[in-house]
Amino acid sequence: MGDRLTIERDGDIATISLDNPDKMNALTLSMWRELGKAMEALSADDEIRCVILRGAGTRAFAAGADISEFAAQRSNREQARSYADVTTAAMQAIEQCRHPVIAMIHGVCVGGGLEIASLCDIRICGESSRFGAPVGQLGLTMSYAELGALIRLAGRPVAMEIVLEGRIFNAHDAYAKGLVSRVVADDAVEEESIATARRIARSAPLVARWHKHAAARLTQSPALTAAEIESAFDCFDTEDFRIGAEAFNAKQKPVFKGK
Amino acid sequence: MGDRLTIERDGDIATISLDNPDKMNALTLSMWRELGKAMEALSADDEIRCVILRGAGTRAFAAGADISEFAAQRSNREQARSYADVTTAAMQAIEQCRHPVIAMIHGVCVGGGLEIASLCDIRICGESSRFGAPVGQLGLTMSYAELGALIRLAGRPVAMEIVLEGRIFNAHDAYAKGLVSRVVADDAVEEESIATARRIARSAPLVARWHKHAAARLTQSPALTAAEIESAFDCFDTEDFRIGAEAFNAKQKPVFKGK
Amino acid sequence: MGDRLTIERDGDIATISLDNPDKMNALTLSMWRELGKAMEALSADDEIRCVILRGAGTRAFAAGADISEFAAQRSNREQARSYADVTTAAMQAIEQCRHPVIAMIHGVCVGGGLEIASLCDIRICGESSRFGAPVGQLGLTMSYAELGALIRLAGRPVAMEIVLEGRIFNAHDAYAKGLVSRVVADDAVEEESIATARRIARSAPLVARWHKHAAARLTQSPALTAAEIESAFDCFDTEDFRIGAEAFNAKQKPVFKGK
């Protein structure tokens, strides 16, 4: 029951902390739901000039989705669709937030954590941060929206290293590959992120909102058919998805069958 | 009255110098107009195989638009639209120049200077060069065309650091982030740029023109509505734009109101 | 007659070697044809989980197309179109391969070699590798598909350095510019590539296929007209193309006329 979001305000800067201390801030469905609502509320608030997204503590930004919930909440196509309704709404709320959003990244930033970070405008991490998305070992796919955000962030070849090979990048490589905007010393992540938020908050806010909106307009993904969007759920009907989930829970290496 | 363009020819290579020595080569409206005409004339000239764009001297490529002109020439939406007719024509002329264009960058390359450089095919700078666009502190927005050029050059995350945070990059970071093609010693910028122009001029010119045209075709921005394009002028009707301009002239920090 | 392809299987990993030992693995038309067929056959094979593309030996991935064939097989528009039918089919087969494809790059990777590598999902090279495409010195253009693949890989500015300036990048610069995914010691290229293929092969294969397909969908080039696609053959009717070919055969520097 330690999973929650905390929201703090310091003048025109709001900070949302992903807080699930026993699980490296992995996101439960309840946290995804709260995250969407919090971002929508902050986006509508004209007093806000910058939002910081962070993990509670300094061990992790977020270690992804809380996989222990999958058996009960994401075990087949129908459940996965309901689950995605919540996560997609949260991710859209981050992306469409009218105010600039900074990802303050301590430590681990993988899976859903990387997806959240990829939707922020600026990413600041520490030297010991790690980035990746082990979806191929879980037997599940990203959605088009998630993969699209990763490609927009760092390009298709980097996205392919992450999703095909399951590669985990250190901070230095993540910077070289465009996954993060800036790498600082681990104990400077908070200070640098707040200083960046203040620089943004001192800029003309209507100008910032217009630039953010225009940049999204200029880089929007091609329109997809309903069938294409639905195809991202095909994995949940496969034997490999069950193999991946069971191996994860048993802390074993999965042996996939390709069906 | 020191603001002007100079154009030199050395065989099949033409060099345009942005020349406003008292203002770090900031572009006056008159210089923007001359720049557009010069690029159009050179583009039409079949004897040309490469164009170099540079700032006069070695202190600056260009420090942006000459902001001292804004009070008389860019103080409201109507004026801004006329001003943009000239700057947009100049930028289109650079982008659509049939011949390869090199930005030879000494020192400061900010605001309109960065926009011009982003439309060239290759950018060569010195180790002490600096890059940015402090539009957020002036209370004005880039146009879709300007923001689009920056995004095509270095990606949306880098563009966001520049326009939202007002970040100034040194040459090393500009290279890592894709803002420049090459960094050389300050006193080698001219030599390397000319050598590059000669390599280009020795290549098959019809082939170069086709590649340049095809690359533009493959990376064109999505079509925008007239209302979207017009929305870039909304900032000129805001109180924040006046606050930004007054603060700039008074050399003070602006305090924006978000309206 | 040393030009050929060899295909080896090791469980669910297939390795295709481009093999033309006297010409740094330059691709003859016959090799292009075999490459297309081999990739199509492997793509259709559900037992395969990863394909490695490499050059035979360790001196070169591929030094481009075998230019000595151009006089007989690619000397005018009509021949160039037939030639392109074969090379385009091969490149499409690589790009559309359902399984992840790794380019294992030893040494020289230029021209058609770079084009092949740019269509793979992950590129691993050694410290002494070299990358470029001296098309401007040959008086011929890439096709839209080839240029598009290069732009998708490393962005338009990098593509312009390559095609306009004829720049050859070393491994370090190629990594900084996004042309390769990873640089390792020359004698570790094979080991690292195979280890990467094994990591991919251990991941869920249907998931990998979906991600690859979705990434291609999200980054597809704009639709081109038949006339635009045909315009890439205009160069073969120019005097400069003949000048480039003659200079190459005579090992002299071409002097182009722009017609």
pLDDT tens string A212-243: 999 999 999 999 999 999 999 999 999 999 99
How many domains does the structure of chain A reveal?
Answer: 1
CATH number at residue B37: 3.90.226.10
Question: What are the strands of the beta sheet with A182-184, ordered from one edge?
Answer: A4-10, A13-19, A50-55, A101-105, A122-126, A182-184
| Closest residue to B203, CB basis, from C159, C164, C232 | C164
Contacts of A183 (CB under 8 A, 6+ apart): A125, A126, A127, A129, A171, A172, A174, A175
Average model confidence (pLDDT) for chain A? 96
Q: Which of B141, B164, B221 sits opposite A121 (nearest CB)?
A: B164
Q: Could you tell me if A175 lies within 8 Å of chain C, comparing CB atoms?
A: no
Q: Give me the phi and psi of A257, to 5 degrees please.
A: -110, -10
Buried/exposed code over C226-237 (b: 16+ C-beta within 10 A; e: otherwise) = eeeeebbbebbe
- What is the C-alpha radius of gyration for chain C, rounded to an integer number of angstroms? 18
Nearest to B165 among A123, A196, A207 (CB): A196
Between CA A107 and CA A8 the distance in angstroms is 21
CA C75 to chain centre: 21
Q: How far is A178 from chain C (nearest CA, A)?
A: 10
- Of C178, C200, C207, nearest to A165 by CB-CB distance is C200
C200 touches chain A (CB under 8 A): yes
pLDDT above 70 as % of chain B: 100
* Residues of chain B contacting residue A204, judged by C-beta atoms under 8 Å apart: 136-140, 235, 238, 240-241, 243-244, 254, 256, 258
Nearest to A115 by CA among A35, A196, A13, A233: A35
Whether residue C208 is contained in a domain is answered as: no
Give CA–CA dist B50/B12, Å, rounded: 7
- Write out pLDDT tens, residues B218-247: 999 999 999 999 999 999 999 999 999 999
Q: Min CA distance, B123 vs chain C (Å)?
A: 9
Q: How far is CA B72 from CA A231, B67, B242, B249, in A?
A: 57, 10, 13, 13
- Does A251 touch chain C if contact means CB atoms closer than 8 Å? no
Neighbours of chain A (3+ CB pairs under 8 A): B, C
Cβ contact B97:B42 at 8 Å: yes
Q: Give which of C69, C32, C256 is closest to C166, Cα–Cα.
A: C256
Lookup: tokens for A48: 């806000």
pLDDT digits (tens, 9 = 90+) for A175-188: 999 999 999 999 99
pLDDT level of residue B1 (50, 70, 90 thresholds): low
Give the distance from residue A225's alpha carbon to the nearest chain C alpha carbon, in angstroms: 11
CA angle C126, C131, C133 (to 5 degrees): 160
Report the amino acid identity of residue C64.
Answer: G
- Are the CB atoms for C106 and C189 separated by under 8 Å? yes
Judged against a pLDDT cut of 90, whether residue B160 lies above it is answered with yes
Kindly tell me if the per-residue pLDDT of A1 is higher than 70.
no
Instruction: Answer yes or no: is pLDDT of B158 > 70.
Output: yes
Size of interface A-B (CB pairs under 8 A): 119
Helix (H, G, I), strand (E, B) or coil at B212: helix
What's residue A133's pLDDT?
97
Q: Decide if A220 is inside a domain.
A: no
If we measure between CA atoms, which residue out of C87, C71, C82 comes closest to residue C242?
C71
Q: Can you name the residues that pair with B169 across neighbouring β-strands?
A: B131
Q: State the pLDDT at residue B46.
A: 96
Measured distance CA(A136)–CA(A193) in Å, rounded? 32
The Cβ of residue A4 has, within 10 Å, a number of other Cβ atoms equal to 15
Residue B219 maps to a domain: no
What per-residue confidence (pLDDT) applies to B106?
98
Considering CB atoms only, which of A153, A204, A211 is closest to B142? A211
Residue C248 lies in a domain: no
Task: Answer whether A99 touches B (CB < 8 Å).
Answer: no
Q: How many CB pairs under 8 A join A and C?
A: 118
For B120, which residue in chain C has the nearest alpha carbon?
C157
Residue A256 maps to a domain = no
Determine how many CB atoms are found less than 10 A away from the CB of residue C219. 18
Tell me: pLDDT of B67 over 90: no
Residues of chain C above pLDDT 90, percent: 95
E-only strand ranges, C74-160? 101-105, 108-110, 122-126, 130-132
pLDDT for B166-181, tens place per residue? 999 999 999 999 999 9
Under an 8 A CB cutoff, do C253 and B202 touch?
A: yes
- For B207, the closest of C144, C165, C235 (CB atoms) is C235
Task: Pick from B140, B156, B164 the residue to mutate for testing the A interface (most A CBs within 10 Å).
Answer: B164
Set of chain A residues whose Cβ sits within 8 Å of the Cβ of C214: 141-142, 144, 147, 232
Tokens for C101? 């494809």
CB nearest to A207's CB, from B141, B151, B222: B141
Scanning every residue of chain A, which has its alpha carbon at the shortest distance from the alpha carbon of C199?
Answer: A165
> Quick count: other Cβ atoms within 10 Å of Cβ B256?
24
Contact list, B160 vs chain A (CB under 8 Å): 100, 121-122, 211-212, 215
A244/C204 Cβ within 8 A: yes
Q: Let me know if residue A58 belongs to a domain.
A: yes
Give the max Cα distance, chain C: 55
Nearest beta carbon to residue A206 from set B137, B166, B238:
B238
Which residue of C165, C167, C224 to mutate against B (max B Cβ within 10 Å)? C165
Contacts of C218 in chain A (CB under 8 A): 144, 147-148, 151, 156, 221-222
User: If chain C, 259 residues long, is cut into consecutive pieces of 10 residues, what is the mean pLDDT of each piece?
Assistant: 92 98 96 98 98 98 92 92 97 98 98 98 98 95 97 97 98 97 98 98 97 96 95 96 92 95
- Check CB contact of C75 with chain A, cutoff 8 Å: no
Q: Contact C199/A231, CB-based, under 8 Å?
A: no
Q: Work out the average pLDDT over A25-36.
A: 97
User: What does the pLDDT look like over C187-210, one tens digit per residue?
Assistant: 999 999 999 999 999 999 999 999
Sign of the Cα pseudo-torsion (B106, B108, B113, B119, in order) = positive
Tokens of B162: 């520049």
**Cβ of A210 and B224 within 8 Å?**
no
Q: For residue C75, what are the domain limits?
A: 4-187
User: How far apart are alpha carbons A187 and B258 in whole angstroms?
Assistant: 33
Q: What would the two tokens of residue A159 be?
A: 């996205």
CA distance to A120, A137, A234, B133, C75, per residue, from C211 (Å): 22, 13, 12, 37, 40
How far B117 CA sits from the closest chain A CA (Å)? 19
CA C187, distance to chain mean position in Å, is 22
A152: chain B residues, CB-CB within 8 Å: 155-156
Q: Do A211 and B148 lie within an 8 Å CB cutoff?
A: no
C153 burial level (CB within 10 Å; 0-12, 13-18, 19+): buried
Contact A207 B136 (CB under 8 A): yes
Question: Does C205 lie at the interface with A, CB-CB under 8 angstroms?
Answer: yes
Q: Is residue A118 exposed (0-12), middle (13-18) or buried (19+ Cβ within 10 Å)?
A: buried
**Using CB atoms and an 8 Å cut-off, which of residues 124-153 of chain C contact chain A?**
152-153
Task: Provide, as residue numbers in chain B, all residues whose Cβ is less than 8 Å from the Cβ of C137.
Answer: 202-204
Q: Are A170 and C236 within 8 A, CB to CB? A: no
Q: Do A204 and B253 touch (CB under 8 A)?
A: no
In this structure, are strands B50-55 and B13-19 parallel, antiparallel, or unpaired?
parallel
CB contact under 8 A, B231 and A219: no
Show the tokens assigned to B258. Answer: 């978000």
Residue B251 lies inside a defined structural domain of this protein: no
Is residue A28 within 8 Å of residue A69, measured between CB atoms? yes
**Secondary structure of residue C155 in the 3-state scheme:** coil
Question: How close is the nearest chain B Cα to the Cα of A152, in Å?
Answer: 8
Cα distance from C69 to chain A (closest Cα, Å)? 33
Of C37, C223, A223, A104, the closest CA to residue B220 belongs to: C223
Tokens encoding A215: 């940049």
What are A64's two structure tokens? 């992804």
Cα–Cα distance for residue pair A144/C215, rounded to 1 Å = 8
Burial C125-151 (b: 16+ CB within 10 A, else e): bbebbbbbbbbbbbbbbbbbbbbbbbb
Assign B150 a pLDDT band (cuts: 50, 70, 90).
very high
CB C62 within 8 A of CB C24: yes
The tokens of B161 are what? 């650091």
Mark which residues 42-61 of B lie under 8 Å from C by CB. Answer: 46, 49
CA–CA separation, C34 vs B202, rounded Å? Answer: 35
Tell me the CA distances in angstroms from B250 to B65, B74, B111, B237, one per residue in order: 17, 18, 19, 21
Flag if B221 and A220 touch (Cβ within 8 Å).
no
Give dist(CA B61, CA B52) in Å, integer.
12
Q: Burial-class residue A124 by CB neighbours within 10 Å (0-12, 13-18, 19+).
A: buried
Does a structural domain hold residue B11? yes
The pLDDT-based confidence of A68 (bands split at 50, 70, 90) is: confident
Q: Provide, rounded to the nearest whole percent, the portion of chain A with pLDDT above 90.
A: 95
The answer to whether the CB atoms of B219 and C156 lie below 8 A apart is yes
User: What DSSP element (H or E) covers A122?
Assistant: strand A122-126
Q: Is the pLDDT of residue B130 over 90?
A: yes
